[in-house]
A and B are shown apart, each in its own frame.
Chain A
């Protein structure tokens, strides 16, 4: 026998569980500190286990099953619409990339037109040029709104996910 183990552990545990002790084993458990601990702990745990099992108030199994069933259906539905969300996101990304590519590609031509507009803006000091200024503001505003709406759509798509 060493400090923490004893060859009779198993037999003592069985006896403590069943309550059937023979005299030799009882004498051994009284003298051996390892087996005394086993006998005491097993008896305590059995008593507490019995007490805990007898406590009333188990939830209704039907309710658990139906809740699980509903959660599973909900998850299946979420899985089903996931490809649509992915398609939406891809379409948004594609739109943004296309718009950006067109802007970059067409920038030299656009730039020269903007220069023309700038010139018109300088002439706006005279009272007769007000409609040209409005045109410039309209183009700038539209461009800003376009980019802003793309950003909002992208954000909404991500937030939904």
Chain B
């Protein structure tokens, strides 16, 4: 799958820039190591925000492709990872825009061949999360699964850092209400 996503530098300081072409930013071995560290969490993010495993796989490959075309001088591991998440977030946005334009349904992820307990747990949790808007899913995932600070979440989503606190508090309230309505809150 191809994307119209342009690599932008907004919010990432002067550190990242699109390569003029020719070679990739990492050799194969370095890429393999970086991939091993980042891909499980990136796929989880893409999978839960898109709600579709096939789409998540396509976007994951596209995100790494864009990443490999980017020059990242002096960026530490954390910065590199958050830049990867920013690329992925932009690809998700492109995906949702295209799906809306073509009025494509966004199918839910099919369950994997897994233990029945996990399927049960997943079928309890996933529909609740998918009821949130994509932007709300992104916010909550980055803050509470990836543990990014408000500043980092703002950089990844291309939002103002000051607005994150308020947006996050709204999303939290909404998700907590949904969980309680489905009896997934605390027993007391």
User: Which of B16-24, B77-85, B99-107 is the interface stretch?
Assistant: B16-24
Asked whether any CB of chain B lies closer than 8 Å to the CB of A134, the reply is no
Q: Mark B157-188, 1 if CB is under 8 A from A, else 0.
A: 00000000110011011011001100011101
Interface size class of B (residues with CB under 8 A): 35 or more
Q: Mark A57-80, 1 if CB is under 8 A from B, else 0.
A: 111011011011101100110010
Neighbouring A residues of B172 by C-beta, 8 Å: 37-38, 41
Neighbouring B residues of A27 by C-beta, 8 Å: none
User: Which of A48-56, A120-128, A138-146 is the interface stretch?
Assistant: A48-56
CB-contacts of B52-106 with A (<8 A): 53, 57, 60-61, 64-65, 68-69
Asked whether any CB of chain A lies closer than 8 Å to the CB of B8, the reply is no
Interface residue ranges, B against A (CB under 8 Å): 21-24, 28, 31-32, 35-36, 39-41, 43-45, 47-48, 53, 57, 60-61, 64-65, 68-69, 112, 114, 118, 121-122, 125-126, 128-129, 140-141, 144-145, 147, 165-166, 169-170, 172-173, 175-176, 179-180, 184-186, 188
Asked whether any CB of chain B lies closer than 8 Å to the CB of A99, the reply is no
A65 to B43, CA, bound (A): 17
Partner of A58, one of B39, B112, B180: B39
- With an 8 Å Cβ cutoff, the count of chain A residues facing the other chain is 40
State the main secondary structure of chain B at its contact with A: helix
State the main secondary structure of chain A at its contact with B: helix
Partner of B32, one of A4, A62, A79: A62
Neighbouring A residues of B118 by C-beta, 8 Å: 51, 54
The answer to whether A64 and B61 touch across the interface, beta carbons within 8 angstroms, is yes
Least Cβ–Cβ distance between A50 and chain B, in angstroms: 9
The answer to whether B36 and A61 touch across the interface, beta carbons within 8 angstroms, is yes
